[in-house]
Amino acid sequence: MFEDVHPWMIPLTFFYMIIIPIGVFSNLIMIICFFINPRLRSPFHILLTLTCLADGIHVCGQIVFVVQLLTNTYSYQSTCYFLNFFPVIGLTIAAPLLMEIGLDRLLAVSFPIKYREFQFQKVLYTSIHLVFPILYTSSILYLGFMERNNELVKCAIPTALAGVSFKVFTLSSHVIYVSIILAYLMTAVLLKFHDTSSRFKAVFKSIGVTVGIVLFGWAITTVSNTFGYFVTDDFEIFNLIQMYSGITVNIAISSNLLIFYTINPEYQMTVKMLLDGSFGKLPTFTDSASELQNLRKNTKSQDS
pLDDT bucket at 249, cuts 50 / 70 / 90: confident
Query: What is the Cα–Cα distance from 255 to 210, expressed in whole angstroms?
Result: 8
The pLDDT of residue 116 is above 70: yes
What digits encode the pLDDT tens for the residues 145-200? 999 999 988 888 878 987 789 889 888 988 898 898 888 888 888 877 766 656 66
Q: Any idea what DSSP says for residue 121?
A: T
Exposure of 253 by Cβ count < 10 A (0-12 exposed, 13-18 middle, 19+ buried)?
A: buried
Q: Per the domain annotation, does 302 fall within a domain?
A: no
Number of folded domains that form the chain: 1
Half-sphere exposure of 293 (CA within 13 A, CB side): 5
Domain hosting residue 58, numbered range: 9-276
In-domain check, residue 201 = yes
Instruction: Look at residue 202 in the predicted model and tell me its pLDDT.
Output: 64
| Residue 188: half-sphere exposure toward Cβ, Cα within 13 Å | 13
Q: What percent of the chain has pLDDT over 90?
A: 30
Largest CA distance in the chain: 73
Residue 81 lies in a domain: yes
State the DSSP H helix or E strand holding residue 157, giving kind and residue range, or none if neither.
helix 157-160
Q: Is 37 exposed, middle or buried (0-12, 13-18, 19+ CB in 10 A)?
A: buried
Residue 216 lies in a domain: yes
Mean pLDDT of 49-71: 89
In a domain, 252, yes or no: yes
d(CA 31, CA 126): 17
Higher-scoring residue by pLDDT: 116, 289: 116
| HSE-CB of 125 using CA atoms within 13 angstroms | 20
In a domain, 55, yes or no: yes
Residue 21 is predicted with a pLDDT of 94
Mean pLDDT over residues 32-51, rounded?
Answer: 91
How far does Cα 259 stand from its chain's mean position?
A: 14
Query: φ, ψ for residue 273 (rounded to 5)?
Result: -70, -30
Residue 304 lies in a domain: no
User: Residue 262: which CATH number?
Assistant: 1.20.1070.10
Whether 223 is in a domain gets the answer yes
Of 15-24, 166-175, 229-238, the poorest mean pLDDT is in: 229-238
